[in-house]
Amino acid sequence: MPIYEYQCAACGQVLEKWQKFSEAPLTVCPKCGGSLEKLISACAFHLKGSGWYVSDYAGKSPGTGKSEAPKETTEATPAKESTTTEAASPSKFK
């Protein structure tokens, strides 16, 4: 059963009431007899376990898996590229 919050328009008292969905909302304040208004409040539940967006998919970029190995970088690869580029550059402009 959900918990509903009500606030009295006359005295300002806020009360909580466990009610079924089929029950009619409260209209009279038990303290002063004034009219009650239903409040909108944040729900307090958290989805736990696997299969939810927060636990399985949030923060991952598309196409990445859990078993993806980290990429290895080597120092030799950039040095080879720069020497190849330097050797090719002068021949382009001749």
Q: What is the pLDDT of residue 90?
A: 57
pLDDT for res 92: 58
In the predicted model, residues of the chain with pLDDT beneath 50 are none
- Rounded CA gap, 77 and 85, in Å? 12
Could you tell me if residue 85 is inside a domain? no
pLDDT value of position 94:
54
pLDDT attached to residue 23:
92
Question: Considering its fold, how many domains does the chain have in total?
Answer: 1
Q: Give the CATH number, domain containing residue 27.
A: 3.30.1330.30
Q: Domain of residue 31: give its range.
A: 1-44
User: Minimal CA–CA distance to 3: which of 31, 44, 46, 48?
Assistant: 44
Sign of the torsion formed by the C-alpha atoms of 60, 64, 67 and 71? negative
Looking at residue 41, its pLDDT comes to 78
State residue 64's pLDDT score.
Answer: 55
Question: Quick one: the chain helix, strand, coil %, rounded to 5?
Answer: 25, 15, 60
Q: Is residue 79 part of a domain?
A: no
Residue 25 belongs to a domain: yes
